[in-house]
Amino acid sequence: MRLSVDATATLFALAATAAAAAQPKALSLVSAGDTAPIPAWDVQSSAKITQDPAALSKAGAAVSSSWHHAPVSRCTVFGCLLAAGVYNDSDLFFSDHLAAIDKAQFQVPWLYRSEFTIASGAPSESGSSSSSSNNSSSSSSTYYLLETNGITSRADIYLNGQQVADKVTQSGAYGGHVYDVTSAIQSGSGKENGSAHAIVVRAYPTNYLQDFGLGFVDWNPYPPDNGTGVWRDINLRKTGAVAIESFSVVTAGTNGTVTIRATVRNLGAASVNFAAEASIFRDGGSLAASGAALSSVSSPSTQQLGRGQTTRIVLTTTVDAPAIWWPRQWGDQPLYTAQLTVSTPATTSSRSSVVKSDAATKSFGFREVTARVSSADDILFSINGKPFQVLGGGYASDVFLRWDAARFEAHARYTLDMGLNTIRLEGKMEQPELYAIADRLGLMVLPGWECCDKWEAWSYNDDLPKPVAVWSDADYVTANASMRHEAAMQQSHPSLLGFLVGSDYWPDDRATAIYTTALADAGWQAPVVASAAKAGYPKTLGPGGMKMPGPYDWVPPNYWYDITDPATVDDDVRYGAAFGFGSEQGPGGGTPTLSSLKKFLSTADLDDLWRAPNKGLYHMSTAASSFHNRTIFNTALWQRYGAPTSLDDYLLKTQMADYEATRAAFEGFAANWGLAGAASTDANSSKRPATGLVYWMLNGAWPALHWALFDYYLHPAGAYYGVKAALGTGALEHVVYDYVRQAAVLVNRSQNQTGVRMVRAELINAADGAVISNITTATKERSTVAVPNSSRTVLPIQGVSTLRDVALLRLTLLDGIAPSAGVLSRSVYWLSAAGVDTLNWDDSNWYYTPVAKYAGFQSLDKLPAANVTATRETTAAAAATNGSHSAETAIRLENHSAVPAVFVSLNLVDAEGADVTPVTWSDNYVTLFPHETRTLTVQELASALGIAGAARGIAGAARGIAGAARGIAGAARGVAVQVTGKNVAKATVTL
């Protein structure tokens, strides 16, 4: 059965949408420079519309009740249908229901329509000489600009009966344009103050190989509409005769010099004089709340612009003693706001007065990002002069391109909580709010174009279907508009790490020139990288310094460390191992817990997970992908942990495998950073430190069974806490285990933390807790000194090579050698008596390296039970983890047994037993040694994200975001903690 809109819409819904659509919303455009988005849309297939779009774009046009009302300002066609309640994502995500949607209905254009009014203040002029007056310009010199920010894949636009743009110009998902619609507004029912206007957008269907869209390759099923439609806001802006066309803020590193660059245009029919003024305010928030400007600068004299002319403005000023912006792991995130105001002489006053013609603001920070590529073709980024090891994940937009700021902030806070510092945006550059959130939280962002479709349709791209739809002249025009729009939107944000103008392939010379010119014109202040792979590069940019050899599926922990000589290691010999910069790689993983799985898998689907380990699964990658099944992961699981005896047993083992795999990947890169950041590194050095790892992937675009460090419902599990353990569970200094060299490696990710440290390594039998070895680095003759921004081997582990069964290794870092020294970090590893897995490097391919012989942990199934109690230690207290101020609860775990308690997990639930998300634990999936006690804390992030039931900005079907289906529990509060483990009985702690 194929489900279409007709098959799912109800008469009630149609009546409701018709009623909702009958009320035009007012756009508040009071002062020159004010901007407002078209607030809501009615959508319908062109196959069901007989009227001409121009006629439909007249206020009061007869519109049938069959249109679907989406009370949102931006949505793809399918996203609009979700927002209108035609479809429900909880149902679509369940099992293979999404496959039942009739995609043929989206192979024709769809129409978006909206009626609105303009709420404008009374026209007046200022007698003040200040060009920052908030009074609006006179109605005789009022102009309106329609701003698009990309419509997929292309569109015709009509306003008040006039065609504003056609699909040739308005092309590409990122093709942002500005159209002067003054005449269309003035020819409508009226100019402003309550008269209705109407806009119609005809969005043409998207073909990923033919159009510049936002594709998902094999990440997940394609959205039924291929992301077609108004996925970003369309804005209406009010100005005077002189309008600001472009606006950038350029800082000279961190010395306080700020240059405002702008292009202004005369929209009027006559020449006009104008003046410009720029002011700098602290904190990037409300200008009124920021107090007096820290610095201001004005143009030296008025300038004259002829009819339709443009000119460039450059204003430079200095902020004394600027506060420096740092990524979160290294410091604070002070932000500033630059305000540019353009004024023209008043026309109705006899006094020498001016009136504001246009104004714009941008947030920015003082920071400097640079990069250099070594002779071995490895890129090394630096921030404010400090070498910066990139540790991040590949971000995925929602499969229907829906945006919610609170949800993204949860993603960002999770990223930082794990200890990561960067997200990569491969062609999913989202909304402007993303960059503002990243700026505020101190999360670096690496945007760029995507692979595997029109964006990389080069004659030398051997991965695309033949014949390749190589770019036409019109495509280069679209690429130019796209790059200029994205550069302008992103340019001033201090969280920007760089821009990747290519992903799997590099752009041709013509496209490269377009990209680099557009970035330079925008005042781009971060590195421009040729591509995320080593397939090639344009001469004008040189090598990109990033590698993309995989893996994308499971590999054992020792994979990352299996490098004979870091100084001479070859990309074609050790592929994705921990050296150089891995732009997208990882051991797959990210299996959700049962509570999440039940939200999107049927009973039969759940059975397939463990009863049919080689079966293709709808919630893996697409059927044509190498990752449609879990065969590689499951084969290792069966061999290493033993055949599962039930679904619960399978899922526990998957969490152990995910934890072990993700931890090793990030620990390998952290351990092989070496002294790259501790001292000046010669760019031509042959040594190949691990300069960066972007994990494939951070999150899923929909509920998926792999490629995510936390699931779609924002529930962190084994993969998440494996990464958090790898990066110190909140500590910038920690110790990791090198599986190949059987040694402890001291990692210091700070800028300035130093001093004497002690590392303790304790090795015990898992079965009975018997001690095998217990050693430290602290003796009278020898101590360990922490070196900032470095890693180095400090302690060989005794007894690993002679194990008789599975053993547990506990590594502890203390902040001194005195008995009273505090614990900086602690982590536990399980090690096999069979040694590490034997890798068959010679048979490696682009997505994994086979294993010839597996390590063995089957005896963990026979562990004696451990008696662990869990008690609430404190009541809710104020906390400030990751900048939040959520309630914090402490749970005290105590192992009363003489045997270890292995892989103990804690889960916060509400009164109905449902997971509370988003939530962060100080640590989780922990292993307690005999008679060990640990206290773990948990924070609910809902209050920090401004989520409080209906007030949280997520209104169920009205937003196309179905509450629990999106993983934000709103007003639900944690009332209990569920505790379980490998050899620990399930228990519940009531809070």
For the annotated catalytic residues, the residue numbers are 504, 584
Six-digit token string for 905:
């997990």
What is the Cα Rg of the chain in Å? 29
User: In Å, what is the CA distance from 970 to each residue of 404, 712, 881, 947, 966?
Assistant: 14, 16, 20, 5, 11
Of 955, 936, 934, 733, nearest to 825 by C-alpha is 733
Q: Is 418:709 a contact under the CB 8 Å cutoff?
A: yes
Q: Is 735:747 a contact under the CB 8 Å cutoff?
A: yes
First to last CA, the chain: 47
> Which residues, at least 6 apart from 239, have a Cβ–Cβ distance to it below 8 Å?
32, 33, 137, 142, 143, 144, 145, 267, 357, 358
CA separation for the pair 829, 836 (Å, rounded)? 13
Of 145, 150, 320, nearest to 230 by C-alpha is 150
Of 868, 923, 862, 873, nearest to 901 by C-alpha is 868
Six-digit token string for 142:
């009022």
Q: Helix (H, G, I), strand (E, B), or coil: what is residue 204?
A: strand
3-state DSSP percent of the chain in helix, strand and coil, to 5: 20, 30, 50
> What backbone torsions phi and psi does residue 959 show, to the nearest 5 degrees?
-105, 0
CA separation for the pair 112, 46 (Å, rounded)? 10
Cis peptide leading into residue 153 (ω within 30°): yes
Of 236, 257, 399, 385, nearest to 314 by C-alpha is 257
Evaluate the CA torsion angle 217, 218, 219, 225 in order and state its sign.
positive
Q: Quote the Cα angle for 703-705-706, to 5°.
A: 110
Q: Is 819:758 a contact under the CB 8 Å cutoff?
A: no
**Residue length of the chain:** 991
DSSP string, 907-961: EEE-TTSPBP-SEEESS-SEEEPTT-EEEEEEEE-TTTTT--GGGGS--GGGGT-
Buried b (16+ CB within 10 A) or exposed e, 856-888: bbeebeebeebebebeeeeeeeebebbebebbb
Which residue matches tokens 């920010």? 149
CA separation for the pair 694, 562 (Å, rounded)? 19
C-alpha 368: how far from chain center = 21
Between 432-441 and 473-490, two packed helices, what is the crossing angle to 10 degrees?
40
| Cβ neighbour number for residue 834 with a 10 Å cutoff | 16
Strands 580-585 and 690-695: parallel
Q: Helix (H, G, I), strand (E, B), or coil: what is residue 750?
A: coil
Six-digit token string for 820:
């009273």
> Which residues, at least 6 apart from 301, have a Cβ–Cβ distance to it below 8 Å?
275
Six-digit token string for 939:
């924070």
Of 892, 893, 886, 895, nearest to 916 by C-alpha is 886
Q: Helix (H, G, I), strand (E, B), or coil: what is residue 633?
A: helix
> Which residues, at least 6 apart from 201, have a Cβ–Cβ distance to it below 8 Å?
111, 112, 113, 151, 155, 156, 157, 158, 230, 234
Evaluate the CA torsion angle 502, 508, 513, 518 in order and state its sign.
negative
